[in-house]
């Protein structure tokens, strides 16, 4: 047997290839949309990809299951658990098998046993692997998907938080408790292969270690220390990270079936003469580093540097309009791959950043200032400070005069802000607030300033901040 691990750092997404060397066939577990790496690895190792196994309908990235089925005819092994609204809808025309608790399937001489591990989502399943080709009669490990992570477990509130399915968080938490109790009965020696690592919004406190064992997680995973269901429910629903709004889009896309991109899919650079129409009709994302963007950019564009694109495009790009990129030509395909992975389908093309600058269209700027330069205006109320950090960061401490508007929801909440006052945007270091400054300018705010160094620099200068006091019980 061969086990290969793939990790998409931008999405904190882990996927796997399991190959039977005797039969020369392989299965990909929880594949991402960019399937070329799987096909290249299979070719390198002398395998044919004949199957795909998915633990659930993913919400945080576009699955590559349909792309593999379409490209190489891989059989789809997917969950048939859960309610009707969470059934795969694109299986007609593909070789597929809907799986239930207790089922098993073979890929060559490797056996996969199915456990229904609901809670994160109603249809979630896990795969227990036994290498029968190697003579084993006991399992080696379990692919847990978004059920059990290293140091954490999948959150049960995504359907409610991201998809608006009211009441599902509580019921999901109770289902998750049941699944956790079952997980604890597995042999301690089993390896645990999850679908995410540190940085994923699918749970809280995920570890950066790629794999673990059942026994280790039973001993050290905080979420596995509860024997009381009510205490578990209270723990698992508290302090979860913000659920990106695009998660609801991903659930629908992966349920209905992502668009097939096809071999050789690519994008083109466009003539800068069409940029004004692009701003009017779509979302134009400028990938320029923020200090350069601040010094001159096209009005109506938003700034998300390439290394922050995967984290923030899903919050800030309008999925119902075409997306355009201002970038260096060599950045276009990398950026488009990132956007496709989070379900941005209509990527209309890119504009060369140098041609944009030469065109004279980059007429808008915004100012920046240090805490020392801005503290008097902030403290006196001469400007309005906007803190775009997460709720947890805000709760841990913030500047007294700030108003909290989380960056991901800033496009929707910007209408609450005053147009007749200078807005100073602040985060921890100045990177997210730079994105926020561009969002506010694109929304029509003229007087916008980015606080250089953010809250960290403010505190380093010894300037005052507050930490909310917990509510007193009566």
Q: Are 270 and 350 in contact (CB under 8 A)?
A: yes
How far is residue 305's CA from residue 286's CA, in Å, rounded to a whole number? 7
427 is catalytic: yes
C-alpha 249 chain-centroid distance = 12
How far is residue 17's CA from residue 383's CA, in Å, rounded to a whole number? 54
C-alpha 63 chain-centroid distance = 12
* CB burial readout 23-59, b (16+ within 10 A) else e: bebbbbbbbbbbbebbbebbeeeebbbbbbbbbbbbb
Q: Are 272 and 356 in contact (CB under 8 A)?
A: yes
In DSSP notation, 201-257 reads TTSSS--SSS-EEHHHHHHH-GGG---SHHHHHHHHHSSPPP--THHHHHHHHHHH-
The single residue listed with the structure tokens 């355009």 is 324
- Helices 309-316/431-442 angle, 10° precision: 30
Rg (CA), the chain: 24
Residue 301 has a CB neighbour count (10 Å cut-off) of 26
Backbone phi, psi, residue 328, to 5°: -75, 145
Q: Are 26 and 206 in contact (CB under 8 A)?
A: no
Give me the sign of the Cα torsion angle 438, 421, 425, 389: negative
How far is residue 312's CA from residue 244's CA, in Å, rounded to a whole number? 9
Residue 217 has a CB neighbour count (10 Å cut-off) of 28
Structure tokens at 409: 């929801």
Contacts of 295 (CB under 8 A, 6+ apart): 365
How far is residue 235's CA from residue 343's CA, in Å, rounded to a whole number? 31
Torsion of the alpha carbons at 409, 415, 417 and 419, rounded to the nearest 10: 140
C-alpha distances (whole Å) from 226 to each of 234, 402, 434 are 11, 38, 42
Q: Are 255 and 56 in contact (CB under 8 A)?
A: no
Residues with active-site annotation? 427
């Amino acid at each position: 047997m061969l086990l290969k691990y793939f990790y998409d750092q931008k999405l904190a997404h882990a996927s796997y290839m399991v190959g039977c060397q005797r039969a020369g066939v392989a299965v990909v577990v929880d594949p991402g949309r960019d399937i070329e790496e799987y096909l290249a690895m299979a070719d390198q190792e002398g395998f044919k990809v004949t199957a795909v196994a998915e633990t659930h309908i993913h919400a945080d990235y576009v699955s590559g299951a349909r792309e593999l089925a379409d490209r190489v005819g891989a059989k789809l092994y997917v969950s048939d658990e859960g309610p009707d609204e969470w059934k795969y809808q694109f299986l007609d025309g593909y070789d597929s098998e809907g799986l239930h608790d207790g089922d098993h399937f073979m890929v060559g001489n490797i056996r996969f046993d199915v456990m229904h591990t609901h809670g994160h989502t109603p249809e979630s399943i896990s795969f227990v692997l036994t290498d029968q080709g190697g003579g084993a009669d006991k399992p080696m490990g379990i692919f847990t998907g978004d059920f059990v992570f290293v140091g954490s477990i999948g959150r049960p509130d995504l359907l409610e938080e991201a998809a608006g399915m009211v009441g599902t968080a509580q019921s999901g938490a109770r289902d998750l408790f049941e699944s956790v109790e079952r997980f604890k009965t597995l042999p301690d020696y089993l390896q645990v292969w999850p679908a995410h690592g540190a940085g994923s919004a699918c749970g809280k406190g995920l570890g950066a270690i790629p794999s673990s064992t059942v026994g280790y997680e039973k001993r050290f995973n905080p979420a596995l220390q509860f024997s009381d269901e009510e205490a578990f429910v209270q723990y698992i629903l508290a302090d979860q990270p913000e659920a990106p709004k695009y998660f609801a889009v991903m659930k629908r896309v992966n349920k209905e079936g992502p668009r097939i991109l096809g071999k050789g899919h690519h994008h083109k650079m466009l003539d800068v003469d069409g940029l004004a129409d692009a701003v009017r009709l779509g979302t134009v994302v400028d990938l320029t580093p923020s200090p350069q963007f601040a010094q001159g950019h096209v009005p109506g564009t938003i700034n998300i540097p390439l290394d922050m694109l995967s984290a923030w495009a899903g919050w800030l790009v309008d999925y119902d309009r075409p997306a355009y990129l201002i970038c260096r030509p060599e950045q276009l395909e990398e950026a488009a791959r990132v956007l496709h992975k989070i379900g941005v389908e209509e990527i209309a093309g890119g504009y060369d950043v140098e041609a944009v600058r030469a065109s004279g269209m980059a007429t808008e700027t915004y100012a920046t200032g240090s805490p020392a330069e801005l503290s008097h205006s902030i403290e006196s109320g001469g400007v309005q400070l906007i803190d775009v950090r997460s709720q947890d960061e805000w709760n841990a401490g913030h500047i007294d005069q700030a108003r909290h508007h989380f960056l991901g929801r800033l496009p929707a909440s910007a209408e609450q802000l005053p147009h007749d006052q200078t807005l100073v945007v602040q985060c921890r270091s100045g990177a997210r607030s730079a994105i926020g400054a561009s969002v506010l300018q694109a929304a029509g705010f003229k007087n916008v300033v980015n606080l250089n160094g953010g809250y960290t620099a403010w505190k380093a200068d010894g300037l005052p901040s507050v930490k909310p006091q917990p509510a007193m019980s009566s």
